[in-house]
């Protein structure tokens, strides 16, 4: 779940996003260059067209908060 507004509301002053470009030039937000971790399939985003991206259902992921340095809650 992508919630930049929530992070800013809780005091974040920087938001870093990893972006990738698909074969047809669409920029997507994705930490990984492929979809193995999300879909279980070894698909490279650079070789996929956005309009024909694979559909999949994923089990719910648990959210892990990073260590707190400032005492500001991470959401």
> Which whole-number Å values give the CA distances from 7 to 3, 4, 11, 50, 67, in the listed order?
7, 5, 7, 28, 15
Distance of alpha carbon 37 from alpha carbon 43, whole angstroms: 10
Q: Please, where are the H alpha helices in the chain?
A: 4-9, 36-39
| 3-class secondary structure, 73 | coil
Q: Tens digits of per-residue pLDDT, 27-62?
A: 998 989 999 988 889 999 999 998 865 565 555 554
Q: What is the pTM of this model?
A: 0.54
Of 45 and 75, the one with more pLDDT = 45
Domain regions of the chain by residue span: 16-50
Q: Distance from CA of residue 31 to its chain's centroid?
A: 5
């Amino acid at each position: 779940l992508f919630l930049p507004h929530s992070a800013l509301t809780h005091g974040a002053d920087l938001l870093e996003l990893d972006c990738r470009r698909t074969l047809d030039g669409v920029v997507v937000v994705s930490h990984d260059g492929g979809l193995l971790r999300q879909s279980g399939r070894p698909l490279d985003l650079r070789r996929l067209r956005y309009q024909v991206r694979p559909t999949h259902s994923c089990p719910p992921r648990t959210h892990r908060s990073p260590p707190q340095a400032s005492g500001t809650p991470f959401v």
